[in-house]
Amino acid sequence: MIDIAILRTDPERVRENLKKKFQEHKLPLVDEALALDAKRRALQTEGDSLRASRNTLSKQIGQLMREKRGEEAEKVKAQVNANAARLAEIERETAETETALRSVMMRIPNFISPDTPIGKDDSENVERKRFLEPRVPDFEVPYHLDILERLAGIDLDSARRTSGQGFYYLTGDIARLHSAVLAYARDFMIGKGFTYCIPPFMIRSDVVSGVMSFEEMDGMMYKIEGEDLYLIGTSEHSMIGRFMNTTLEEGALPLTLTSYSPCFRKEKGAHGIEERGIYRIHQFEKQEMIVICKPEESELWYERMWQYTVELFVSMDIPVRQLECCSGDLADLKFRSCDVEAWSPRQKKYFEVGSCSNLTDAQARRLGIRYKGEGGTAYAHTLNNTVVAPPRMLIAFLENHLRADGGVDIPEVLRPYMGGQKEIVPKK
């Protein structure tokens, strides 16, 4: 949610930002917000005037009563009662107007970074950097599901019976590898100075509406029937929600946190490539990183955060690249975002394994996250980034470490988490 003062003083900047994001259908929201804001301020002015006159009129009544001018005093009393009735009406109208204004403001997207490329969708995202040389082995790399099955590492048929499409059982060495990657990612981030957290896996609706747009919520979140609770789509939701309606001390910033959680997503409308395997699923686990900082520090942290993910993948000898998200691919709350994509030797192209975002103060405004220092109180900036999400990461891992004999090598950094195991071999 943007600052209403900016919309009030420079509405053209807001309109231009909507056009850059190819959201011309939201242009009427600017005028609607301005009208509601003007109405709210007019009501506030009228209300302040009525409150100020209340004391004056009360004094008049007392004076008139002392002077035995009862008839005139009754007229003033009638005016006081009329003012009180109008004041109650103003308070009701103000509450309704503020609710309507907040609803409109929450649909207006955050301003995008000057460095964000302009484009309609993810096909126009821009590659910035590559790390490690992509390689294609001299043997055919099977589809990741076939690799998993040959390693006796997955059971999709049982999962379909128990839970339906989009779920899976991981078994044996693959299940252990999955946990090893998460444990390694946890310790990797702790080594970077981040505090490890395990958050709630369900959150209330006021947190949901604070951390994401209505469109995202409809496409992602599972609602618990009969409860004001939603299953989290990522631990960012409950991690940021932890600081809702709080004022932090400036000296405590930045807050650098890394969190583990299962994640639950509808994947509404998801279809197409990799549908048969574990690329798009309804339940997975993830290690996340969250930063809450002062405004002047957020771009520095943005650069650090995506580079941490790159460093993690490179340490496991997986080639990756950084892809800057274009304007049309940015979610409404994002000022700037980039994807980290891993190399697929089978497809001979990169695919997304993580995403890093700077939301500036847009999320903090929705949730009421402020900090207090010598200069007063201000909204904090919030950032989030995927450290690793094993289902997709497993695809990249298996394809990049597969041998011609069907075995999979385990990089040295993961061996302590695998009991010293150096390889995973096919099962007969």
pLDDT in tens, 45-57: 988 888 888 777 7
| pLDDT more than 70, % of the chain | 96
**Distance between CA atoms of residues 359 and 339, nearest Å:** 15
Looking at residue 239, its amino acid is M
Could you report the per-residue pLDDT of 311-341, keeping only the tens digit for each? 999 999 999 999 999 999 999 999 999 999 9
Looking at residue 407, its amino acid is G
| Termini Cα distance of the chain | 56
- Provide the pLDDT confidence category of residue 275 given band limits of 50, 70 and 90: low
Dihedral, CA of residue 82, residue 88, residue 92 and residue 94, to nearest 10: 80
Query: Phi and psi of 176, rounded to 5°?
Result: -65, -40
- Provide the pLDDT confidence category of residue 268 given band limits of 50, 70 and 90: low
Q: Backbone dihedral region of 260: left (phi > 0), alpha (psi from -120 to 50 degrees) or beta?
A: beta
Fold of the domain built from segment(s) 4-105 = Helix Hairpins (1.10.287)
Q: Residue 337: which H helix or E strand, with range?
A: strand 336-344
What does pLDDT average to over the chain?
92
Query: Going by DSSP bridges, is the β-strand pair 255-264/195-197 parallel, antiparallel, or unpaired?
Result: parallel
User: Quick one: average pLDDT of 166-170?
Assistant: 91
Where exactly are the structural domains of the chain?
4-105, 122-424
| Burial group, residue 252, by CB count within 10 angstroms (0-12, 13-18, 19+) | exposed
Enumerate residues 6+ apart whose C-beta is below 8 A from 50. Answer: 83, 86, 87, 90
Say if residues 257 and 289 touch (Cβ distance below 8 Å). yes
Q: Backbone dihedral region of 274: left (phi > 0), alpha (psi from -120 to 50 degrees) or beta?
A: left
- Provide the pLDDT confidence category of residue 428 given band limits of 50, 70 and 90: low
* pLDDT at 274 (0 to 100): 45
**Distance between CA atoms of residues 401 and 421, nearest Å:** 14
Class of domain 122-424 as given by CATH:
alpha beta
User: Quick one: average pLDDT of 58-87?
Assistant: 76
Enumerate residues 6+ apart whose C-beta is below 8 A from 164. Answer: none
* pLDDT at 59 (0 to 100): 66
* pLDDT at 372 (0 to 100): 96
Residue 316: HSE in the Cβ half-sphere, 13 Å Cα cutoff? 32
Say if residues 81 and 54 touch (Cβ distance below 8 Å). no
Higher-pLDDT residue of 20 and 85 is 20
Higher-pLDDT residue of 220 and 376 is 376
Could you report the per-residue pLDDT of 364-380, keeping only the tens digit for each? 999 999 999 888 999 99
pTM: 0.89
**Distance between CA atoms of residues 222 and 279, nearest Å:** 19
* pLDDT at 214 (0 to 100): 66
- Provide the pLDDT confidence category of residue 272 given band limits of 50, 70 and 90: very low
